[in-house]
Amino acid sequence: MRTILRKELADHLNSTRVVILFCLILCVSLLITNTVSLNIRSAIDRGAKDPHLFLLLFTTSGHFFSLVQFIAFFGPLIGIIMGFDAINRERNEGTLSLILSQPVHRDAIVNGKFLGGMAVIATMVLSILLLISGLGMVVIGVIPTAEQVLRLLIYAVLSILYLGFWLGLAILFSILLRSVGTSALAAIAFWIVFSFFVSLGSNLIAGVLAPVENSRDAEQVGRNARVAAMVNRASPVSLYSEAASMLMDPYRKTTKSFVLVGPMEGMSMMRFNNPLDVPQSMLVVAPYLITILALTSICFAASYLVFMRQEIRSL
Amino acid sequence: MPAAPVIEIRDLVKNYGPKKAVDLLSLRLQKGEIYGFLGPNGAGKTTTILALLGLTEPTAGQISVLGLDPTRQPLEVKRRVSYLPENMGFYRDLTGRENLRYVARLNGLEKREAETRIQEALRRVGLQEEGDKLFQAYSRGMRQRLGLAALLLKNPEVMILDEPTLGLDPQGIASILKLIRSLSKEQAITVLLCSHQLQQVQEICDRVGIMNQGRLVAQGTIQELGGQGLESEEGKRMGLQEIYMRYFREG
C-alpha cells in the first residue's frame, strides 16, 4: 500500500490540475486576506479593541465572502477534482488490471488512493492557513494568542475532514460509474444540490411541516425555523459552515442563526456578550465535527465495500 | 513417475448468476510446456484464468497453482505467476522504465535488484533503446512488448497470456511468439496462452485445449486432435484451423 500511496502523492503533486487549483485557491485567499486585513487595520487605527481580532482575518468578508465561506463553498471542488477519476480512469486505461495482477491486496488500492488524496488535502489546507496567518500578522500587526492558534488548529482539522468527505464521495462515484465524465458530473451535481438547493428546499419543507399562519405567533415562527435548520443540516456544506463560524467567532454562543428576543431581552443579552472559551466552543462544535467525520467514513467505507465486491470480470 | 503438475484444475465451476461461465472444467499443465487455450469469445477462458490467479472465486471445484490454492493465497500465487491481461495498460505519462519501476515496487523488489531486472527485461524484449520514452509514444507492438517485460520482472514460474498478439502486425506477432517460445524453453516457464490466432498457436504450443460454453471439448497435441475421429494419415496433416472449425461447425 505504501507504494500505491507514494505513487498517488507523486501523481497529485505532478498533475497540472492540482497545481492550477492550488494556485487559484492561493490567489483568491491572498486577495481576500489582503482586503480584509486592510479593513481590520483601519478599524484598529480608529481605535477598535477586540481580543479576538486575529480570527476576524478568517471570518470577515472582503468583497464577496470571507475565507471560511470561501472554503465551505469551493473546498468541495478540491476533493472532487482529486477524486472523480481515481478508479475509473485506471479501469479504462487498463492500469487497474496491471496493478491487480501484481501481488497487491485489492483494498490497498482504495486505501492508497484515499490516503494519498487526504495527504495532499491536508498539505493544502495547512499551508494556506499558515500563509494567511503569517500575512495577517505582518499586515495587521497582531500576534495570535495560544487560544486562537488552538482554534485555528481545530478549524484546520475540521476543514481537512470536510474536504475528505468530498474526496470520498468523488472516489465512490469513480468506482460506481464507468465513465470519467459521468462520475465528475455526478459529484458536481451533489455539490450544487448541497450548496444551493438544500437551503431553498429546507424553507419549503419547513413551510409544509411547520407552517407559519400567524407571523406574530412566536411558537410557530420558532418551530418553522427549527425545522428549516434541521433540514439544512442534511447538507455537509451547511454543517461545515455552521461549525466553522462557531469555532472562529467566539461571540457566537449557539449554532442557531435564529433566536427570538424581545427588546429588553436583547438589551440584557448585550450585557453578557462575552466570548466563549475554547472548551465551550468545542462543546458546541463537537457534534458537527463528529458528523462530518462520520460522513467521511461512510463515503470511504462504501467505496471500500463496493470495490471489494465488484466482480473482477467487469474491471 | 511424472512430476506434479504446475497447474491443476479439477471440476471447476463458476456461475455468474444463472449463467454458467465455466462448467466442470479439468486441466493439467506440466512444467515448461506451452498450452494453447482456444475457444470462441465467452467460452469461459478468461474466467478460468481469473480463477487461477485468485481474482475471482470459483463456485465449486479445486485449483492448485504451484501447489498453492489461489483463492486462499492469492498474493503468493501472484508473486510467482505473471499475468498479461487482454486489455492491460500502463501509465501514459510515465516512461516505459518508470512504469516497470512501479511494477517492481509493487512486487516488493529491492531497488538495486529492481534496476538490474528492469534492464534485463527491457533488453530481453528489445526495448532498451525506447525504455526512457513516454508510454503514450509507444506503438502497439512496443506496448505489448513492455507488457511482456513487466511479466519478466518477477522471474515467473508461470506466465498466463491473454491475447498477447492482438492487433499486432505480422512481424510483431512473429517476434512476440518467438520471444514467448524462447523464454519458456530457456527458463522452463510454463505458459498458458489464450489466443484466437490459430496459426500462431499451432506454431508454438506443445498442447492445445479447446473450450466451448464453459467445457473443455478437446485437448491434446495437434496431431492427436487431428487424429480423433479421422483416419490417421489424413488427420495428421490437418492444421489447427480445420480441427477448430470441425468442433464449431455444428454450433
A interface test, pick of B105, B140, B148 with most A CB neighbours within 10 Å: B105
Average pLDDT, chain B: 86
Instruction: Name the strand (E) or helix (H) holding B235.
Output: helix B232-236
Backbone angles phi, psi at A281, to 5 degrees: -60, -45
Instruction: Please say whether the beta carbons of B36 and B193 come within 8 A.
Output: yes
Whether the pLDDT of residue A208 is over 70: the answer is yes
Q: What angle do CA B122, B125, B130 make, to 5 degrees?
A: 55
- Residue A195: which pLDDT band, with cuts at 50, 70 and 90? confident
Cell numbers placing B29: 499443465
pLDDT of B235 over the 70 cut: no
Interchain CB distance below 8 Å, A93 and B91: yes
The model carries a pTM of: 0.86
- Give the pLDDT band of residue B96 (cuts 50, 70, 90): very high
Task: Report the pLDDT value the prediction gives residue B234, as an integer from 0 to 100.
Answer: 55
Q: What is the pLDDT of residue B113?
A: 93
CA distance A33 to chain B (A): 37
With an 8 Å Cβ cutoff, are A94 and B87 in contact?
yes
Closest alpha carbon to A7 in B110, B112, B154, B98: B98
CA separation, residue B97 to residues A95, A128, A170, B171 (Å) = 15, 36, 31, 24
The pLDDT of residue B103 is: 93
Mean pLDDT (whole number) for B20-48: 88
Angular region, B2: left φ>0, alpha ψ -120 to 50, beta rest: beta
B57: DSSP letter: -
In contact, A79 and A179? CB cutoff 8 Å = no
Least trusted range by pLDDT, from A13-27, A204-218, B133-147: A204-218
Find the mean pLDDT for residues A286-315. 85
B34-38 and B190-194 as β-strands: parallel, antiparallel, unpaired? Answer: parallel
| Top-confidence range, A210-214, B6-10, B235-239 | B6-10
**B86 near B160, Cβ under 8 Å?**
no
pLDDT above 50: residue B128? yes
Nearest-neighbour CA in chain A from B199: distance (Å): 27
Contact B177, B165 (CB under 8 A): yes
pLDDT for residue A270: 57
A95, A100, A312 ranked by CB distance to B89: nearest: A95
CB-nearest to B106 from A14, A93, A99 is A99
| Least confident interval from A23-32, A68-77, A136-145, B94-103 | A136-145
Indicate the pLDDT class of residue A257, thresholds 50, 70 and 90.
Answer: very low
Contact: B82, A101; criterion CB under 8 Å: yes
Q: Name which of A221, A286, A288 is nearest A258 in CA terms.
A: A221
Average pLDDT, chain A: 84
pLDDT at A294 (0 to 100): 94
Residues of chain A contacting B, Cβ within 8 Å: 3-4, 7, 14, 93-95, 97-105, 311-313
